Structure formats: structure tokens, C-alpha cells
């Protein structure tokens, strides 16, 4: 019962964040890019509930629009990582042999290489831009999913129902799509919720290295980075985007945990 309550709370929070992101132009009080250099670093006022940043832009509007960017980065990164990860993982797990050996080495290599450096390299090669940030994050993020899928498939393929399907002459693609993937869904879903949170935070780290989304586009990560130097004089520049980020991670994890409690153990 309690579990369900937490799930609902998390889901409601996520819904709220997503709708804020979707309807950002309707709900945000100002244009998030509108500057006013004379009205900088206001803590809060009747006009600006959460104050303004160094360029006099409304913080509330930037956080609402930032939800858009951050959730987009998170979701796209996870989707792309899943695509690559599930592809490689199921190929590796189902086909086995040389393909498996090669893919697993590739993953070993990528995991040994500091992810942030790969992201630096990708961003430098591709140039700045939102889509490039997503691509860079996905290219370092897929290995976890691939390992997960491979492991699950290895344990599933020995099960009776798969052997039966194989004995009946089902084609491998069919077996993967019809029999294996549905069983893979719960663990993947759980991992994806955590991955989404991680990707949003990782975009922040890229911002710190100067490789995040291009200015003046607001993302929570870039806002945290822009506000960092003002921690002593205007802490609200980092506190609010920080809270937004924490709430999102919190909501995602509530949902992830609840899913895990409900689905995670059942699938075994």
C-alpha cells in the first residue's frame, strides 16, 4: 500500500514537471531569454518570484523552460542509449560466439575509458549544440543497458519457454521480439528511470566543462554552472535549479523504486 502511494506521488510529480515542460510558454511568466541588465541578481520580488539571474532574466521562467531542455536531454539520451544498448546486448546475448566476444571487449574498453573524456572528445569533434550533447551522452551511456540485456538474455534463453519456441522453429528475431523483450522490459524500465536522472546531471557536468547546451538556452545543468561563481553573493542562482533537479531525480527514483518493487522481483 505504502509502495503504491510513493509510486503515485512520484508519478504525479513527474506529470507536473513534464506538463510544465510541455506548456512552458503558457505557464512561464516571462520570456526566459528576455534580459534586463539593470535588474540583475534580484533575490525575489513581486515581479520575479524566484528572482533574476546575472543578465536580469526571470529565474522562474528559465527553470520552467529549463525543464524542457533537461527532460529532453534526459529522455533522448536514454532513448538513444536504449536503442544501441538493447541492439548490441540482445545480439551479443542471443547470437553469442565471436559477436559476443567482440561486443563485450568493446564495452570493456569503453568502460575503462573515462566517460567524461569521451564526451569532451565527441563534443569537440561535433561542435556545440543540444543534439550533439545528447549524442555524446548516449554514446557513453549505452554500455550499461547492453550489459544488462545480455545478462538477462543469457539467463532467459536457457528457460523452457524459449527452448520450446526454438524447437518449434521460430526465427531468432521473432524469439527476441516476442519472447525475450517482454521479459526484459521491467529491468530495462527500472534502469532507464535511473539513467534519465543520471543523464540530466551529466549534462550539467558537460556545462561545467563548457560543452553543454549553447547559451542562452537554459538547462538546469547550465544554470547551475552559470550560477556557481555567485554562490556567495546570489545563492538563489544555484539553489532553485538545484532543487528542480533534485525533485526530478527524486520523482524518477520513486517511480523506479516502485516499479522495481512491483515488477523487479516478479520477473525472476
Cell of 178: 516476442
Q: Write down the least CB distance from residue 204 to other proteins, Å.
A: 4
182 binds other proteins (CB under 8 A): no
Q: Which residues have CB under 8 Å from 96's CB, separation 6+?
A: none
Alpha-carbon distance of 231 to 202, in angstroms, equals 20
CA distance between the termini of the chain: 22
Q: Which is nearer to other proteins, 87 or 96 (CB)?
A: 96
Alpha-carbon distance of 34 to 31, in angstroms, equals 5
154 binds other proteins (CB under 8 A): yes
Among positions 17-36, residues that touch other proteins (CB under 8 A) are 33, 35
245 binds other proteins (CB under 8 A): yes
Count of residues engaged in binding other proteins, rule: CB under 8 A: 69
| Chain CA centroid to CA 231, Å | 26
Q: Write down the least CB distance from residue 104 to other proteins, Å.
A: 9
Among positions 195-224, residues that touch other proteins (CB under 8 A) are 197-198, 201, 204-205, 208-211, 214-216, 221, 224
Given 26, 38, 167, 266, the residue binding other proteins (CB under 8 A): 38
Compute the half-sphere exposure of residue 22: CA atoms within 13 Å on the CB side of its CA.
Answer: 6
| Burial call 171-189: b when 16+ CB within 10 Å, e when fewer | eeeebbeebbeebbebbbb
185 binds other proteins (CB under 8 A): no
Q: Write down the least CB distance from residue 112 to other proteins, Å.
A: 4
41 binds other proteins (CB under 8 A): yes
Among 224, 240, 243, CA closest to 44: 240
Q: Write down the least CB distance from residue 2 to other proteins, Å.
A: 6
Q: Write down the least CB distance from residue 264 to other proteins, Å.
A: 7
Amino acid at each position: 500500500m505504502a509502495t503504491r502511494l510513493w509510486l503515485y506521488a512520484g508519478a504525479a510529480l513527474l506529470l507536473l514537471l513534464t506538463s510544465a515542460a510541455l506548456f512552458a510558454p503558457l505557464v512561464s511568466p516571462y520570456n526566459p531569454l528576455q534580459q534586463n541588465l539593470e535588474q540583475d541578481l534580484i533575490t525575489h520580488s513581486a515581479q520575479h518570484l524566484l528572482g533574476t539571474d546575472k543578465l536580469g532574466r526571470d529565474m522562474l521562467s528559465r527553470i520552467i523552460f529549463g525543464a524542457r531542455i533537461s527532460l529532453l536531454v534526459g529522455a533522448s539520451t536514454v532513448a538513444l542509449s536504449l536503442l544501441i544498448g538493447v541492439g548490441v546486448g540482445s545480439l551479443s546475448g542471443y547470437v553469442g560466439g565471436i559477436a559476443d566476444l567482440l561486443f563485450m571487449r568493446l564495452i570493456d574498453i569503453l568502460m575503462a575509458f573515462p566517460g567524461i573524456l569521451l564526451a569532451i572528445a565527441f563534443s569537440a569533434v561535433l561542435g556545440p549544440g543540444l543534439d550533439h550533447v545528447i549524442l555524446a551522452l548516449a554514446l557513453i551511456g549505452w554500455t550499461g543497458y547492453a550489459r544488462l540485456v545480455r545478462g538477462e538474455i543469457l539467463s532467459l534463453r536457457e528457460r523452457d519457454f524459449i527452448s520450446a519456441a526454438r524447437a518449434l522453429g521460430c526465427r531468432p528475431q521473432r524469439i527476441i521480439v516476442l519472447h525475450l523483450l517482454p521479459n526484459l522490459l521491467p529491468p530495462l524500465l527500472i534502469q532507464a528511470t535511473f539513467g534519465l536522472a543520471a543523464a540530466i546531471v551529466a549534462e550539467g557536468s558537460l556545462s561545467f566543462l563548457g560543452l553543454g547546451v549553447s547559451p542562452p538556452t537554459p538547462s538546469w545543468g547550465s544554470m547551475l554552472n552559470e550560477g556557481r561563481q555567485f554562490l556567495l553573493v546570489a545563492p538563489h542562482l544555484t539553489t532553485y535549479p538545484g532543487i528542480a533537479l533534485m525533485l526530478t531525480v527524486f520523482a524518477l527514483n520513486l517511480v523506479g523504486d516502485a516499479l522495481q518493487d512491483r515488477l523487479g522481483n516478479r520477473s525472476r
